[in-house]
Structure 1
Amino acid sequence: MRIKSKLIAPAAGMAALLTLTQCFTDRQNEGERLYTQYCANCHMDDGSGLRNLIPPLAGADYLVNHRDELACIIQHGQTGNIVVNGKNYNQGMPAFEHLNKGQITNILNYVQTNFGNSNERFTIPEVEKYLDKCRHLPEQ
């Protein structure tokens, strides 16, 4: 009996560890995949933007200065002039209202930590808080 119990605990631990690591590996590149699917056509694969039309994400001061707006911009799009790294951009961005808070968080974290950026990562509760705020803003 003792031999069985000595083998069960490590076996259960290994099974739990394998299950846990599989949860993370399935989604470890989700931010990059979602960025490629929804963002790269305009912001380019390297985050450099498109000349004078689409702002860069690489080294963009906007990511830090407007952190609380980024989730809403992804979900609801953006129109009007914005200034990124001292340069004006006035090309609209489409809304991706079908993306959930986890997907938006993954996109934001991919952008925040790639293209030469080393910005603070987002949490899902933080993104949820920002999305809740922009749902309650009056229409402009």
Structure 2
Amino acid sequence: MAAVVSLTLRTAAALLAGAAVLSACFTDRQNEGQRLYATHCASCHGAQGEGLRRLMPPLAGSDYLRRHRDELPCLIRRGQKGLIVVNGVTYDQVMPAHEDLTDSQITNLLNYVHNAWGNQGAKHTIREVSQLLEACQGSDGR
């Protein structure tokens, strides 16, 4: 009987340890999109996605996000130059490329932007983002 109790306790301890490791993995990535936005995007697009007057386009309430959903992964990976129209306002600033971000990070970033500040965009999957990045030879498969 003592052997069964000991085995059960060891099994329970192993399961708890495994759950703690898995929890840490998922917790690290839980707010990754928000962290990536703060690091790579907020200085131009604003902490709340509000943009900067007529210099930098807003992401909050942006019609551009809805109309150009499939182009966004390449826009993030390769950057953007030239005129764009967001909510009826024309912008002509350069957006830098973010070639250091993985496909997974771009997915998390897009999902954050699509669902922050009142935006209600459809979520991207990593597979979808990787496929969309093929259009600009930008997929890294990660």
**TM-score using structure 2 length:** 0.87
- Figure out how many residues of one structure are paired with residues of the other and give that number: 136
Q: What residue in structure 2 maps to residue 90 of structure 1?
A: 92
SS in 1 for 2:90: strand
1:33 counterpart residue number? 35
Return the alpha-carbon distance in structure 2 between the equivalents of residues 54 and 65 of structure 1.
18
Percent of pairs identical after alignment? Answer: 53
Matched, 1:134 2:140: no
Structure 2 counterpart of 1:56, from 50, 53, 58: 58
| Post-superposition offset of 1:70 | 0.5
Question: Partners of 2:8 and 2:40 in 1: how far apart?
Answer: 50
Q: Deviations over 1:56-97 (max 9, x none)?
A: 000111112111110100110111111212222222211111
Show the counterpart of 2:114: 112
Question: Which amino acid is the alignment partner of residue 94 of structure 1?
Answer: P
Q: Tell me, which stretches of 5 or more residues in structure 1 are unaligned?
A: none
1:78 aligns with 2:80: yes
Q: Which runs of 5+ in 2 are unaligned?
A: none
Q: Give per-residue Cα distances to partners, 1:87-124, cap 9 Å, x unaligned.
A: 22222211111211122112111111111112122111
The alignment's C-alpha RMSD in Å is 1.5
2:60 partner SS: coil
Deviation of 1:9 (Å): 2.9
User: Which range moves more in the overlay, 68-77 or 97-106?
Assistant: 97-106
For residues 7-50 of structure 1, give each alpha carbon's deviation from its aligned partner in whole angstroms, at most 9, with x where no partner exists.
23322221221111111112222212211111111101110111
